[in-house]
Amino acid sequence: KNIPTIPFYVTLLPLLFDVDQKDIFELYLREPLEKYGAVKLFFGSRWNIVVSRPELLAQMFKDEDTFAKSGNHIKIPYGVISAYTGENVISAHGAIWRCFRKTITPGLQFFDHEPMVKNAQLFCALVDKQLDVSTPEPAILCKEVNGTSNLSNNSTNEVAMPELIQRLSLANISEVALGLDMGTLTKPNSELHAKLKNVKKNIFKSLYLNFPMLDRLPIPSRQLTRAYVEDFRKCLMDSVRDSLVNNYSFEQTKFASSDLIRSFNRCDITEKQLIDNLIIIMVAGHENPQLLLTTLFYMFAKHGKWQSRIRAEVQACNSQKLEDLPLLNSFIFECIRLYPPLSQIINRCTTKNCMLGKDVMIPKGVYVGYNNMSTGRYTTAWGDTCDKFLPERWGDNINDIMSEWRHRKNTCAMSAFHGGRRACLGEKLALMEVRITMAAVLQDFKWTLAPDWVDKVTPAGPLCPAGLKLCFSRLYASE
Ligand code: HEM
């Protein structure tokens, strides 16, 4: 009661028309969410409540017993998505969640970032190689670093970003958290990657996200997707066995996967729970940074002056740590505010009749979620400039910037990484990954948006520029 209902067809619009998430947000969600702080929204074959006002989010995140996590394994146990990610640290609740979280926390908080440095260099080499392929004459050599020259007229140095960024983020998570070398940056067709692509291409179809009950029917294409899922899960587990179990290397290493194996050996978790958690580390650990990296590449291309300023900052930083650079970090935080990679998440269910804030009455058994895109652009929280890209809003020195970041997270005005007890366990890793990657690429290349790329974000689900294409040029002499 006391909140508006968004017309049921709104989440189906991307199925029928050429609209993206930003269009839908502006047309249907922004105003009611801003005014009421929560709305009723049809998604996944049911009516849900989606919250965006920071104070209401704070209540929801805090009161975990009333707004209990209820992931796909409970919501749609028959769904192909549930077969993919099972019961894991993100979806679980109560004692099982505590056990999972305790197990994987050390590996995700204390890790070796050297593979990310090496992979950023491999990534630059792959971009470089594409320039050689796509440029009939030698690539432009730009000695000057002021970012003023307009490269967008040269369409021969175009690079399609999605596949490359995915290869990078997979390499990073598999080496840093899982202790595996998937070979995504060194081989053109890593077996695990090929299988994962098959799963991703088929599983997140809008139709099945909106009507998951279709997964109850024996639809041949869906059954095939289920088989791809099983095959991928088995292949990942086989790789973990080869890299960590059979040679006992899990005993000497501190990867999140090593801790999961130890936990399984102690019978704290079952084999299925072991695989479910390996899968979610792989999935959340590569997909979310992949989305953020895509947004960062896009925003650097769109804001050439920032690209030049931050390049100069990175070049001058010597041994100073990347997490101490004010421009780089405020740029990243501002991108996350405007383009939170997980724009909307609905995976909690009320365990009793309750009140959200002072006047929203919610019965037991209702699915409740949150809309990060709206919270990041909430006028009451961010002021009249909420739609403007202003990295300087975070502060002008690193201490202020970091304390503003923490303050915004604590007050739930920045909810892109959740917060509280269920805060994202990969935030530190993801931020480190994007700093390292962007610093490496900024030093080797400058880039603009490809002139023929249509400026759109993804139609639904995870948020980032759709099918991003960029024009690169080298900042060093090619051999
Ligand atoms: C830009 C990158 C990332 C973003 C924006 C992000 C965002 C989030 C969000 C919003 C949640 C809460 C989900 C919910 O409400 O159900 C979450 C949880 C989680 N994330 Fe991330 N994530 C990122 C990267 C990562 C990475 C690299 C990992 C590494 C494996 C990771 C691991 C986790 C885990 C384990 C949880 C569950 C925490 C819990 O419930 O105890 N995330 N993340």
Model confidence pLDDT, tens digit, residues 77-130 = 999 999 999 999 999 999 999 999 999 999 999 999 999 999 999 999 999 999
- Residue from 2, 75, 21 nearest 371 by CA: 21
- Residue from 314, 317, 306, 301 nearest 437 by CA: 314
Is pLDDT at 235 greater than 80 in this prediction?
A: yes
Q: Report whether 300 contacts 438 (CB < 8 A).
A: yes
**Residue 193 parent element (H or E):** helix 191-203
Strands 46-51 and 367-371 turn out to be parallel
Q: What are 341-353's pLDDT values in tens digits?
A: 999 999 999 999 9
Residue 171: the pLDDT is 97
Residue 318: the pLDDT is 74
Calpha distance 374→381 (Å, rounded): 11
* Mean pLDDT, range 389-417, rounded to an integer: 98
Ligand 1: nearest atom to the Cα of 92: 40
Task: Enter the tokens of residue 146.
Answer: 């002021």
Pocket test for ligand 1, best of 64, 288, 333 (most atoms within 8 A of CB): 288
Q: Considering the chain, what percentage of its residues have pLDDT values greater than 70?
A: 94
Cβ(341) to ligand 1 under 6 A?
Answer: yes
Residue 479 pLDDT class (50, 70, 90 cuts): low
Residue 56 pLDDT class (50, 70, 90 cuts): very high
Task: Enter the tokens of residue 91.
Answer: 């979806």
Residue 148: the pLDDT is 38
- Reduced to 3 states (helix: H, G, I; strand: E, B; else coil), residue 158 is strand
If you average pLDDT over every residue of the chain, what do you get?
92
* Mean pLDDT, range 145-172, rounded to an integer: 72
Is pLDDT at 251 greater than 60 in this prediction?
A: yes
Closest residue to atom 3 of ligand 1, CA basis: 288
Q: Which residues contact 145 (CB under 8 A, 6 or more apart)?
A: 308, 311, 312, 315, 446, 475
Residue 15: the pLDDT is 85
The strand pairing partners of 470, in sequence order, are: 159, 449
Alpha carbon distances (Å) from 200 to 141, 226, 237, 347: 37, 11, 18, 20
Pocket test for ligand 1, best of 90, 291, 424, 435 (most atoms within 8 A of CB): 424
Q: What are 362-392's pLDDT values in tens digits?
A: 999 999 999 999 999 999 999 999 999 999 9
Alpha carbon distances (Å) from 322 to 23, 191, 315, 329: 35, 34, 11, 8
Calpha distance 97→92 (Å, rounded): 5
Calpha distance 89→234 (Å, rounded): 20
Residue 7: the pLDDT is 95
Q: Report whether 441 contacts 106 (CB < 8 A).
A: no
Ligand 1: nearest atom to the Cα of 370: 15
Question: How far, in Å, from the CA of 422 to the mean position of ligand 1?
Answer: 9
Sheet holding 367-371, edge to edge: 38-43, 46-51, 367-371, 344-350, 67-69
CB 302: neighbour CB atoms within 10 A? Answer: 14
Calpha distance 2→74 (Å, rounded): 28
* Mean pLDDT, range 399-407, rounded to an integer: 98
Question: How far, in Å, from the CA of 169 to the mean position of ligand 1?
Answer: 14
Residue 208: the pLDDT is 86
Q: Report whether 470 contacts 451 (CB < 8 A).
A: no
Residue 156: the pLDDT is 61
Calpha distance 199→464 (Å, rounded): 20
Give the Cα-Cα-Cα angle 178, 116, 169 (nearest 5 degrees): 65
Residue 134: the pLDDT is 60
Residue 142: the pLDDT is 38
Residue 319: the pLDDT is 64
Cβ(285) to ligand 1 under 6 A?
Answer: yes
Residue 151: the pLDDT is 39
* Mean pLDDT, range 263-276, rounded to an integer: 97
Is pLDDT at 150 greater than 70 in this prediction?
A: no
The strand pairing partners of 350, in sequence order, are: 67
Is pLDDT at 236 greater than 80 in this prediction?
A: yes
- Reduced to 3 states (helix: H, G, I; strand: E, B; else coil), residue 457 is strand
Residue 207: the pLDDT is 85
Task: Enter the tokens of residue 183.
Answer: 């070979």
Residue 450: the pLDDT is 97
Residue 1: the pLDDT is 77
Residue 155 pLDDT class (50, 70, 90 cuts): very low
Is pLDDT at 336 greater than 80 in this prediction?
A: yes
Gyration radius of the chain over CA positions:
22
Q: pTM score, two decimals?
A: 0.94
Q: Which residue has the tokens 């269910």?
A: 349
